[in-house]
């Protein structure tokens, strides 16, 4: 044991400099006295012995100056032996005692001391928190301290564990190792020195789990208001493997840039941490296909030593692709501890002979139970790789699969971008404008440098028409379908895991069964997107890797696993029955709506050219722009606008009826709502290169865009009733004159028996930044014959 004083705290939080902190063992002694009073076993004699040694020196029950701690070696040794298992090796146990809050260590094991100090200087050589900025570190420390105080004095449950993560450079591998630092405050007495202020429990509870600035509490409840007496127990646990996997997850979830290349170095570094060696190299080889033919792209596959050496060694690319395609058709784990021996057995690896590779492994990588690529693991150091080292990679393989899927998606997106950039045709109504601008750009940049920027594609004073067809309660229906399907999936999964337990005798299956049952109890019709994501993460990262290990089993277990994978097949499995039924129903409705809108678009283009753009949501939204700027060669008259407004109202009635008639034909009965926003005046629009679409321009025009995006869930004033209702058309407006125009259209369609005689004039609740909205609401004749 060591009695060296080490200050392992960094970046003191505000308010901690002048806190009343004392080193004391009184609470520990009191705890021993309680155990003596209550203990009935032979342990009582041991507790009495310890208490006798503690009280032999009266100074040990008082506040102790750090300079005098060396006088109490026996007492400190007894504390260590009481808090640490007797059989624990002091040279391997990472354990220490420190002064409260300051993390100043005064008594530690040899292992703890050697880990945190430089051998030559004896100074602390670690960074407490992993690669985060000082502000985040201070926040975590403040959160830890105030969570403790809020729980003790205000009965607000703690939301922060007493764990931090420190990184320490390993001298042998030159790689970081991660340790979880646990601070036990059981033997710290905290006493208020002044009356404590009252706190709004609800407000604290509301913000406590979010991005709450804990340092704010230093002003409300200064730490100087308390006296801290006692000591803290520090324990370190090696979590390098867990942290390496967490690092990979963070890289994937929080990409700094959007290039696949940028991920590579950080991912490889984390894999090196996981296997504990810098002399192991990795190659990521996602399965990229174009028209179902395997391809290797430089950006995504340059890290594959097999691809690099094959294409630079004069091998026929077609022959290599054929061999690779054969492997992807029947993927297996290949591991050659001695590549020289492997070369005699497998021509597929012959291309590596000249690179100096000594050991080589190919690991198939899956995402959502589908092969997405392979992970190459190789080393040029002889006898460094073995099966045990490869097994350390298993926790990271699902994340590598996710990364490869990202790479595949990015590759596919690039192909689509090129298609859109080079071949996608523009709507005829505005194509002339793009040709003009392109000609101007070509003309102006023919001889001049630097190049002139391309003109903004803009149309001024056009009249907008907005409509939205939404599927009623789509979120509720989707959650209910998910709930029903996951119940089926978890029941089948528990059955498979039970067979694994019974046939293989693997007790670990019990833990997975327990987690499955826990998730089943959590799932409800109100399951949200976040819950769904957590369930899918559980299945993806814990269940599927576990099942994959037994996938080749025979007999009852093999049949059970096969049946489970058939059950979770996204196309035909019954675990997707409700979701597929819902999606199929929504697709049929949206297809019918889209077809009707296409007919509507073609009709209105015949009278006057206009720009018509649809957007896919759970339903369908669309924007229409009409005006002189769209067709400068054809005189514009407001009659064209009036005509298109009438057509819009008529089409909404037609869509409502079509959706109603589809109900008997779809698997899941769904209803639609119809919404129109009436904008009285004209606006300016411009083409956004980044989004490849037209959007409004100018502050007044942006207001139009904001309103149309917020009215879909607006309520009728003072009723709490949603404006949009199935079987009805809602028309939102500001200007009463606009409403009068549409009332005339409604009367005309009522004469044709398309609309009911139930017209409502409604005031709407205020939206954020929007007041004074009104609406018309009219029912559609869904059953009767139209004239």
Q: Label each residue of 504-544 as H, E or C.
A: HCCCHHHHHHHHHHHHHHHCCCCCCHHHHHHHHHHHHHHHH
pLDDT in tens, 426-439: 566 666 666 666 65
Q: Which residues contact 163 (CB under 8 A, 6 or more apart)?
A: 180, 181, 182, 183
Q: Give the Cβ contact number of residue 53 at 10 Å.
A: 14
Give residue 294's pLDDT. 84
Mean pLDDT of 288-305: 75
Residue 218 clears pLDDT 80, i.e. is over it: no
Residue 33's nearest CA partner among 53, 49, 47 is 47
pLDDT in tens, 643-655: 999 999 999 999 9
| Contact assessment for residue 160 and residue 107, using Cβ atoms and an 8 Å cutoff | no
pLDDT band of residue 419 (cuts 50, 70, 90) is very low
pLDDT band of residue 3 (cuts 50, 70, 90) is low
Calpha distance 71→60 (Å, rounded): 9
657 or 296, which is more confident: 657
Spatial strand order in the sheet of 163-169? 6-7, 104-108, 95-98, 232-238, 176-184, 163-169
DSSP 734: S
Give residue 128's pLDDT. 44
547 or 722, which is more confident: 722
Give residue 445's pLDDT. 62
Q: Which helix (H) or strand (E) holds 238?
A: strand 232-238
pLDDT band of residue 9 (cuts 50, 70, 90) is low
What residues does 465 pair with on adjacent strands? Answer: 624
Percent over 70 (pLDDT), the chain: 82
* Look-up of token digits 């002048």: 18
The pair of structure tokens assigned to 698 is 């100018």
560 or 206, which is more confident: 560
pLDDT in tens, 677-720: 998 888 888 876 665 667 676 666 677 888 888 888 899 998 98
Calpha distance 763→772 (Å, rounded): 8
Phi-psi sector, 382: left (phi>0), alpha (psi -120 to 50), beta? beta
Percent over 90 (pLDDT), the chain: 32
Residue 129 clears pLDDT 50, i.e. is over it: no
Give residue 215's pLDDT. 63
Residue 758 clears pLDDT 90, i.e. is over it: yes
Residue 443 clears pLDDT 60, i.e. is over it: no
Query: 477 in helix, strand or coil?
Result: helix
Residue 28's nearest CA partner among 71, 76, 70, 72 is 76
DSSP 754: S
Mean pLDDT of 479-501: 86
What residues does 464 pair with on adjacent strands? Answer: 625
Mean pLDDT of 94-116: 88
Give residue 628's pLDDT. 93
The average confidence (pLDDT) of the chain is: 82
Residue 532 clears pLDDT 50, i.e. is over it: yes
pTM of this structure: 0.49
Give residue 308's pLDDT. 77
Mean pLDDT of 210-229: 76
Give residue 586's pLDDT. 92
Q: Which residues contact 252 (CB under 8 A, 6 or more apart)?
A: 263, 399, 402, 403, 406
What residues does 96 pair with on adjacent strands? Answer: 108, 234
Q: What angle do CA 314, 316, 322 make, to 5 degrees?
A: 140
* Look-up of token digits 């292992």: 111
| Contact assessment for residue 71 and residue 56, using Cβ atoms and an 8 Å cutoff | no
Give residue 646's pLDDT. 94
Give residue 531's pLDDT. 72
Residue 53 clears pLDDT 90, i.e. is over it: yes
Calpha distance 373→471 (Å, rounded): 38
Residue 83 clears pLDDT 90, i.e. is over it: yes
Angle, nearest 10°, between helix axes 736-751 and 638-662?
Answer: 50
Lowest model confidence (mean pLDDT) among 348-357, 385-394, 445-454, 569-578: 445-454
pLDDT in tens, 453-471: 767 778 889 999 999 999 9
118 or 338, which is more confident: 338
Give residue 449's pLDDT. 54
DSSP 7: E
| Contact assessment for residue 76 and residue 97, using Cβ atoms and an 8 Å cutoff | yes
Give residue 700's pLDDT. 61
Residue 499 clears pLDDT 80, i.e. is over it: yes
Mean pLDDT of 727-756: 92
Residue 736 clears pLDDT 50, i.e. is over it: yes
Mean pLDDT of 120-133: 56
The pair of structure tokens assigned to 30 is 């009191």
Angle, nearest 10°, between helix axes 577-607 and 638-662?
Answer: 150
């Amino acid at each position: 044991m060591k009695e060296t004083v080490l200050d392992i705290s960094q970046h003191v939080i505000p308010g901690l400099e002048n806190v009343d902190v004392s080193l004391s063992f009184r609470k520990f002694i009191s705890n021993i006295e309680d155990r003596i009073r209550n203990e009935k076993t032979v342990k009582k004699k041991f507790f009495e012995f310890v208490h006798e040694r503690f009280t032999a020196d009266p100074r040990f029950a008082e506040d102790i100056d750090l300079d005098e701690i060396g006088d109490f070696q026996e007492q400190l040794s007894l504390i260590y032996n009481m808090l640490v298992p007797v059989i624990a090796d002091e040279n391997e146990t990472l354990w220490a005692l420190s002064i409260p809050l300051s993390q100043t260590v005064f008594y530690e094991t040899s292992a703890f001391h050697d880990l945190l100090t430089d051998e030559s200087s004896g100074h602390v050589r670690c960074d407490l928190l992993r690669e985060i900025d000082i502000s985040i570190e201070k926040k975590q420390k403040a959160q830890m301290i105030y969570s403790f105080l809020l729980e003790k004095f205000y009965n607000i449950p703690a939301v922060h564990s007493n764990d931090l993560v420190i990184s320490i450079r390993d001298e042998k591998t030159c790689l970081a190792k991660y340790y979880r630092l646990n601070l036990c405050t059981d033997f710290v007495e905290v006493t208020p020195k002044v009356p404590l202020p009252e706190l709004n429990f609800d407000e604290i509870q509301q913000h406590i789990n979010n991005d709450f600035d804990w340092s704010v509490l230093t002003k409300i409840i200064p730490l100087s208001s308390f006296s801290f007496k006692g000591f803290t127990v520090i324990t370190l646990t090696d979590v390098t493997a867990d942290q390496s996997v967490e690092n990979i997850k963070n890289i994937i979830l929080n990409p700094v840039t959007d290039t696949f290349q940028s991920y590579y170095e950080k991912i490889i570094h984390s894999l090196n941490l996981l296997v504990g060696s810098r002399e192991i190299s990795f190659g990521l080889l996602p399965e990229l296909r174009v028209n179902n033919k395997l391809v290797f792209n430089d950006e995504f596959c340059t890290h594959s030593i097999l691809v690099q050496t094959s294409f630079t060694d004069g091998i026929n690319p077609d022959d290599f692709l054929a061999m690779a395609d054969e492997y992807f058709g029947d993927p297996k784990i290949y591991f050659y501890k001695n590549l020289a021996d492997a070369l005699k057995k497998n021509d597929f690896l012959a291309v590596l002979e000249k690179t100096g590779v000594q050991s080589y492994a190919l690991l198939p990588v899956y995402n959502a139970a589908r092969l997405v690529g392979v992970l190459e693991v190789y080393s040029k150091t002889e006898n460094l790789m073995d099966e045990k080292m490869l097994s350390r990679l298993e926790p990271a393989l699902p994340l590598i699969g996710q990364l490869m899927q990202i790479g595949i998606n990015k590759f596919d997106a690039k192909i689509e971008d090129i298609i859109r950039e080079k071949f996608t045709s523009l709507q005829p109504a505005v194509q002339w404008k793009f040709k003009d601008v392109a000609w101007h750009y070509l003309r102006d940049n023919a001889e001049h440098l630097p190049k002139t920027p391309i003109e903004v594609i803009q149309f001024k004073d056009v009249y907008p028409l907005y409509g939205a067809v939404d599927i009623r309660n789509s979120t509720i229906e989707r959650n209910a379908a998910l709930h029903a399907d996951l119940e089926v999936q978890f029941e089948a999964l528990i059955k498979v895991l039970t067979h694994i337990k019974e046939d293989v005798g693997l007790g670990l299956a019990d833990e997975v069964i327990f987690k499955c049952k826990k998730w089943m109890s959590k799932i409800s019709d109100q399951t949200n997107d976040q819950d769904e994501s957590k369930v899918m993460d559980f299945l993806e990262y814990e269940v599927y890797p576990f099942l994959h290990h037994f996938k080749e089993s025979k007999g009852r277990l093999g049949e059970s696993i096969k049946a489970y994978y058939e059950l979770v097949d996204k196309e035909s499995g019954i675990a997707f029955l409700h979701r597929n039924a819902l999606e199929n129903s929504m697709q049929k409705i949206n297809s019918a709506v889209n077809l009707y809108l296409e007919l509507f678009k073609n009709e209105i283009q015949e009278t006057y050219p206009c720009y018509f753009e649809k957007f896919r949501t759970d339903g369908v939204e669309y924007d229409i722009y009409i005006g002189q700027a769209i067709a400068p060669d054809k005189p514009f008259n407001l009659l064209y606008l009036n005509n298109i407004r009438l057509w819009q109202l008529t089409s909404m009635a037609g869509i409502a009826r079509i959706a109603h008639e589809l109900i008997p034909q779809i698997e899941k009965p769904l209803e639609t709502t119809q919404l129109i926003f009436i904008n009285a005046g004209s606006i300016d629009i411009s083409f956004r290169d980044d989004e490849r679409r037209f959007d409004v321009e100018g502050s007044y025009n942006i207001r139009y865009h904001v309103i149309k995006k917020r009215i879909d869930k607006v309520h009728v004033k003072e009723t709490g009733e949603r404006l949009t209702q199935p079987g009805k058309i809602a028309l939102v407006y500001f200007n009463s004159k606009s409403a009068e125009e549409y009332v005339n259209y409604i009367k005309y369609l009522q004469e044709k028996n398309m609309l009911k005689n139930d017209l409502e004039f409604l005031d709407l609740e205020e939206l954020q930044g929007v007041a004074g909205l009104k609406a018309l609401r009219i029912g559609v004749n869904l059953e009767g014959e139209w004239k």
